[in-house]
Amino acid sequence: MRSLFDITKIGTLPMRNRFIRAAVSDTTFDGFIDEAMIANYTAIAGGGVGAIVTGMTLVDGEEKIFPVVALCSDSFVPGHRKLAEAVHRYDVRLIAQLAYIGSYTTVGDNSWIVALAPSSVPNIVTGAPAREMRLGEIKLVQKRFADAAARAREAGYDGVELHCAHGLLLSQFLTPHYNRRADEYGGPIENRSRMIIETYTQIRSAAGYDFPVWVKLNCDDGIENGITEEDFLYVCGLLSRAGADAIEVSGNWTPHIFKAGPYFLAPAASAAADNSVPTILTGGNRRVSAMHEILNETKIEFFGIARSFAREPSLIDRFRRECENLAAGGENFRKSSSF
């Protein structure tokens, strides 16, 4: 029987357990990491988690439309190094989530923004207008991701995660509603996945083939004409064959915010069954008993959790106690995991 606290690996990366703090964006108005952020990550690392994925981190300095952390030039590296050192003191892995946001900006009145996008389709959520990327811009954004990954390695991160979910630029390439291109980046899924696969390949060659690369993917965009499960599984297969170190399965989670229960379980279980790449299930993971069951009844091996850490940084230490109760007989476990 597999345990949530197995000492294991994601790809080549040693893990003290199967829990990952999923990305939660860090607000900063200049893109630099500050002391409050380091204190927050330190509290979570000290609370027993196996790995932390940072909040989305901008790869392109031109994208001054969203106040989050950046890795778009060398000047940002020392702050990231300080963060990595703080987290590593607890034997916790730290993964930099690399992102290009595009039209998913949440800047208040964004009528002045014309963001880059696969096609000139306004963002459904933010209303921001968008302009179809030229081929040169596609190549430039791929290079920005690759350069940022090399900086992440230099800063001491244990790997990067490519943010291809939640309606950000890379995710939009997969989504028929947003990608209406007539060239080799649009049309069938073989073409719509090209942007992600090329970006992934560029990261590998810039940061080194031994540097772990995870990918966060939507299995469900939650919009009309969004990604289908079949297309999602096709992309998982491509990434698995390309040697990705992990796939984190997410989707449009906002309609499910009040649900306690892993709402993306079925597609994540299919992805894990079909492929050899380790699968991380994210969204609604609240109960140790449920995760224990999923671990032993599917091929899903890891669990991403985001919001629960905000109110309880030492969540995983509590989960460990609950698992010990489970092993001891079960009755105490059922009582303590009932939230």
Ligand X SMILES: Cc1cc2nc3c(=O)[nH]c(=O)nc-3n(C[C@H](O)[C@H](O)[C@H](O)COP(=O)(O)O)c2cc1C
Question: Which residues bind to ligand X, rule: CB under 6 A?
Answer: 22-25, 55-56, 97, 163, 165-166, 216, 250, 253, 282-285, 305-307
In whole angstroms, the minimum distance from the beta carbon of 187 to ligand X comes to 27
- Name, in order, each residue with C-beta under 8 angstroms of 40's C-beta and a sequence gap of 6 or more: 26, 313
Residue placing its CB nearer to ligand X in the complex, 1 or 311: 311
d(CA 67, CA 57): 10
In whole angstroms, the minimum distance from the beta carbon of 38 to ligand X comes to 17
Residue placing its CB nearer to ligand X in the complex, 178 or 253: 253
Residue placing its CB nearer to ligand X in the complex, 22 or 265: 22
In whole angstroms, the minimum distance from the beta carbon of 23 to ligand X comes to 3
Residue placing its CB nearer to ligand X in the complex, 13 or 23: 23
List C-alpha distances in Å: 75 to 31, 78, 188: 10, 7, 40
Which of 136, 57, 135, 51 has its CA nearest to residue 309?
A: 51
Q: What are phi and psi of 6, to 5 degrees?
A: -60, 140
Residue placing its CB nearer to ligand X in the complex, 95 or 186: 95
Residue placing its CB nearer to ligand X in the complex, 27 or 73: 27
Determine the longest span between alpha carbons in the chain, in angstroms: 61
In whole angstroms, the minimum distance from the beta carbon of 312 to ligand X comes to 12
Residue placing its CB nearer to ligand X in the complex, 307 or 335: 307
In whole angstroms, the minimum distance from the beta carbon of 70 to ligand X comes to 13
- Name, in order, each residue with C-beta under 8 angstroms of 287's C-beta and a sequence gap of 6 or more: 260, 337, 338, 339
In whole angstroms, the minimum distance from the beta carbon of 15 to ligand X comes to 18
In whole angstroms, the minimum distance from the beta carbon of 37 to ligand X comes to 13
Residue placing its CB nearer to ligand X in the complex, 191 or 314: 314
In whole angstroms, the minimum distance from the beta carbon of 251 to ligand X comes to 8
In whole angstroms, the minimum distance from the beta carbon of 166 to ligand X comes to 6
Residue placing its CB nearer to ligand X in the complex, 128 or 181: 128
